[in-house]
């Protein structure tokens, strides 16, 4: 039985709270380890350790900080296979999907390697008579990230890489469901040359989260998870004077216009709707065909594709997706399917009866497909987070545009069309934070920012890209004058430039 503690001050530290949580292997349903759940005191010890280490790291020039990131990239490349295997066994996603999880995190680390350029301030010579003005970006101090189970490599790297590159010390509170990869990433950062104490991993539950939110040393908090908890974290963090950006749930729509390449759209729906068993905040969970003819043709192509999905263990290279993360997750999705039936939706494909031979205790669920879903139904309003796709038939483009615009979530949306005018109009008018045009999962590259609107995102700044540098730094502006020796006397009105 594997025991997972914390990583504080560059070393593994056993938990002292006496509380633990089980770590499951979703493929088999077995308990394979226990993870310590930190107390308030343990979290505080990690924060104090980080606070002691941070000033020296902040004083390290940006080039040297970037070199640590570059060495870390080499180490992750060396360890990709073992990291992906560990990730798949703890989370349940397939090995190729696990490698994609790692790669999208690596891309943000690559962006962070440009920190010498990204942290440059501004300078104006001669802003006034003998006066120069310049600005500088400085780190906040100790910052924290609370990250979800569904991307145990990507989201931690999205958080800690730019924060540390900017000169901060970082407290990472990953999901207790799959803590192995975040712990290994911290080890690799130390191997890359990061000073002890700059990246600390504290495993825990709500007690550790609240300790982070209330700690007076922690200056900023980033969060990814469900919308209710994102709102809670944002409110509590900002109430204690912290900077916060918190990203929540989603109900991502894909609009299929009558002129779309239907085969391309179906391929996109299959991958974006059922990849990673639907456990993605950017999963497409609502398909919106425009017009009955489009809807009928779409369903005719979708039904056999969903019926033929290959669900398998995470180690099966031919599996389309693997198990869900826990038994509770399976039960939750099953409950939503039952709700959809009770609400009057048509269950065109029912995957609830799926079992995996030889893995009968694993957390598996076959693909489910609903037709004739309406905006009044819970399965449309709420995030299911499983392999369930709902088809909402729109009579025209105006209705299709209105659906994602009026939904309480605003994370991602896609449109499939050959009409440039329609695509341009849609991108301009839809009230959603990230838009894909013939792209099903519109996750921007690392040098742009990632973030949703409405109940999908709380805070003024997004993740990665330039917003990450703004979030993890504060700007200091200096107005400088060197007297020429001429006595000018006191000035009692507000200074102005003559």
Among all residues, which ones are annotated catalytic? 281
Q: What strands lie across the sheet with 412-416, from one edge to the other?
A: 346-349, 368-371, 388-391, 284-289, 252-256, 412-416, 434-437
Alpha carbons 87 and 24: distance in angstroms, whole number: 12
Q: Which two tokens stand for residue 436?
A: 């894909």
**Which of the 8 DSSP states describes residue 275?**
G
End-to-end Cα distance, the chain? 75
Helix axes 154-165, 62-91, angle to 10 degrees: 170
> Pairing between strand 218-224 and 199-201?
unpaired
144 and 222 Cβ atoms separated by less than 8 Å: yes
Contact indicator for 419, 374 with CB cutoff of 8 Å: no
Tell me the C-alpha distance between 275 and 217, whole Å.
40
303: left (phi over 0), alpha (psi -120 to 50) or beta: alpha
CA distance 302 to 85: 31
d(CA 94, CA 311): 10
What span, in angstroms and rounded, lies between the C-alpha atoms of 357 and 355? Answer: 6
| 197 DSSP assignment | T
Output the CA torsion 415→231→39→151 (10° steps): 0
CA neighbor of 189 nearest in space, from 76, 266, 319, 112? 76
- Nearest of 440, 346, 329 to residue 393 by alpha carbon: 346
CA distance 295 to 314: 33
CA dist., res. 106 & res. 154, Å (int): 7
List C-alpha distances in Å: 13 to 6, 141, 146: 5, 23, 19
Q: How many other C-beta atoms are found inside a 10 Å radius of the C-beta of residue 150?
A: 25
**Exposed, middle or buried: residue 104 (CB in 10 Å: 0-12, 13-18, 19+)?**
buried
CB 226 within 8 A of CB 198: no
């Amino acid at each position: 039985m594997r025991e997972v503690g914390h990583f504080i001050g560059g070393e593994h530290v056993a938990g002292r709270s006496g509380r633990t949580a089980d770590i499951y292997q979703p493929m088999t349903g077995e308990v394979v380890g226990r993870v310590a759940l930190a107390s308030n005191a343990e979290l505080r010890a990690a924060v104090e350790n980080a606070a002691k280490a941070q000033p020296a790291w902040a004083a390290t020039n940006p080039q040297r900080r970037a070199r640590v990131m570059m060495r870390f990239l080499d180490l992750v490349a060396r360890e990709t296979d073992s990291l992906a295997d560990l990730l798949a066994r703890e989370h349940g996603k397939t090995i190729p999907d696990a490698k994609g999880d790692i790669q999208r995190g690596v891309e943000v680390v690559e962006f962070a390697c440009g920190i010498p350029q990204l942290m440059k301030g501004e300078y104006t010579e001669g802003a006034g008579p003998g006066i120069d003005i310049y600005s500088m970006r400085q780190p906040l101090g100790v910052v924290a990230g609370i990250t979800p189970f569904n991307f145990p490599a990507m989201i931690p790297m999205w958080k800690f890489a730019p924060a540390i590159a900017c000169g901060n010390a970082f407290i990472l509170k990953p999901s207790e469901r799959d803590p192995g990869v975040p712990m290994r990433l911290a080890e690799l950062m130390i191997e890359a040359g990061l000073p002890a104490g700059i990246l600390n991993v504290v495993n825990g539950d709500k007690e550790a989260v609240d300790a982070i939110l209330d700690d007076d040393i922690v200056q900023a908090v980033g969060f990814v998870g469900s919308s209710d908890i994102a709102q809670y974290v944002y409110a509590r963090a900002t109430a204690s004077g912290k900077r916060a950006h918190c990203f929540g749930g989603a109900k991502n729509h894909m609009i299929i216009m009558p002129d779309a390449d239907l085969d391309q759209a179906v391929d996109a729906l299959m991958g974006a709707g059922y990849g990673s068993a639907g456990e993605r905040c950017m999963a497409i969970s609502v398909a919106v065909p425009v017009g009955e003819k489009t809807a009928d043709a779409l369903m005719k192509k979708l039904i056999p594709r969903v019926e033929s999905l290959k669900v398998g263990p995470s180690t099966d290279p031919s599996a389309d997706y693997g198990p869900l993360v826990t038994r509770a997750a399976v039960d939750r999705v099953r409950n939503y399917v039952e709700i959809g039936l009770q609400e009057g939706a048509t269950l065109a494909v029912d995957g609830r009866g799926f079992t995996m031979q030889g893995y009968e205790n694993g957390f598996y669920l076959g693909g489910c497909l609903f037709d004739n879903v309406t905006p009044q139904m819970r399965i449309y309003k709420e995030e299911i987070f499983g392999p369930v796709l709902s088809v909402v038939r729109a009579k025209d483009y105006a209705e299709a545009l209105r659906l994602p615009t009026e939904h309480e979530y605003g994370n991602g949306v896609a449109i499939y069309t050959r009409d440039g005018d329609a695509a341009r109009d849609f991108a301009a008018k839809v009230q959603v934070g990230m838009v894909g045009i013939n792209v099903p999962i519109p996750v921007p590259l690392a040098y742009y920012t990632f973030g949703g609107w409405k109940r999908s995102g709380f805070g003024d700044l997004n993740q990665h890209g330039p917003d990450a540098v703004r979030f993890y730094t504060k700007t200091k502006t200096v107005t400088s004058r060197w007297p020429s020796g001429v006595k000018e006397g006191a000035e009692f009105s507000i200074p102005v430039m003559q």
